[in-house]
């Protein structure tokens, strides 16, 4: 099924994990930014700690771009996000763009870690990602909307 690896629809999937909803708010603001620039693209948002991993992988399979978000925990990323990234690596998808995002408190490694893993999974990483401190304020959310607009 070689053809299947590079299959895509006009869809962007945003997958995130969060402890206190900071990264969720970032995901929602990025979604707003994308939708404000492109009314036709189907944007789907998933909390990977709550949704079935296989359903999420199916949505990623259909997507032309995937955004993966996690806050930083103990200099690393949340386990549900790590699990999805591991599955993404195993699927050997091709022809898909990607970027990372996440909230942090001080050291903020998560965006860098996700970006590296996306590269390892052979996604075409389009930028260095976006990170915001703690629960994002209105200025931070506006940066996230801008980030979303720039993806289009």
Ligand X SMILES: Cc1cc2nc3c(=O)[nH]c(=O)nc-3n(C[C@H](O)[C@H](O)[C@H](O)COP(=O)(O)O)c2cc1C
Q: Which residues contact 136 (CB under 8 A, 6 or more apart)?
A: 22, 25, 26, 29, 103, 144
Distance, CA of 123 to CA of 108 (rounded, Å): 22
Distance, CA of 144 to CA of 46 (rounded, Å): 17
CB of 152 to ligand X, least distance (A): 24
Distance, CA of 69 to CA of 60 (rounded, Å): 14
Site size for ligand X (CB under 6 A): 18
Residue 96 or 132 having the CB closest to ligand X: 132
Distance, CA of 138 to CA of 147 (rounded, Å): 14
> Residue 107 interacts with ligand X (CB under 6 A)?
yes
Binding residues for ligand X restricted to 3-62, rule: CB under 6 A: 18-23
> Residue 71 interacts with ligand X (CB under 6 A)?
yes
Residue 22 or 129 having the CB closest to ligand X: 22
The one among 39, 40, 50, 74 contacting ligand X by CB under 6 A: 74
> Residue 73 interacts with ligand X (CB under 6 A)?
yes
Stretch that binds ligand X, among 46-54, 104-112, 118-126, 139-147 (CB under 6 A): 104-112
Cα 18-22-23 angle, rounded to 5 deg: 55
Residue 3 or 106 having the CB closest to ligand X: 106
Let me know: does 136 contact 58? Beta carbons within 8 Å. no
The continuous run of DSSP H or E covering 152 comes out as none
Residue 54 or 74 having the CB closest to ligand X: 74
The one among 47, 72, 115, 117 contacting ligand X by CB under 6 A: 72
Q: Which residues bind ligand X (CB under 6 A)?
A: 18-23, 71-75, 103-108, 134
């Amino acid at each position: 099924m070689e053809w299947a690896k590079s299959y895509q629809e006009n869809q962007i999937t945003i997958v995130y994990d969060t402890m206190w909803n900071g990264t969720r708010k970032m995901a929602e603001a990025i979604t707003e930014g994308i939708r404000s620039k492109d009314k036709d693209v189907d944007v789907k948002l998933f909390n990977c700690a709550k949704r079935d991993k296989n359903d999420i992988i199916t949505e990623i399979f259909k997507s032309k771009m995937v955004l993966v978000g996690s806050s930083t925990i103990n200099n690393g990323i949340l386990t549900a996000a790590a699990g999805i990234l591991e599955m993404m690596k195993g699927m050997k998808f091709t022809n898909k763009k990607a970027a990372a995002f996440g909230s942090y408190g001080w050291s903020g490694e998560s965006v860098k870690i996700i970006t590296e893993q996306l590269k390892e999974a052979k996604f075409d990483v389009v930028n260095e990602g976006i990170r915001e401190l703690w629960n994002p304020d209105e200025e931070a959310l506006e940066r996230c909307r801008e980030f979303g607009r720039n993806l289009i």
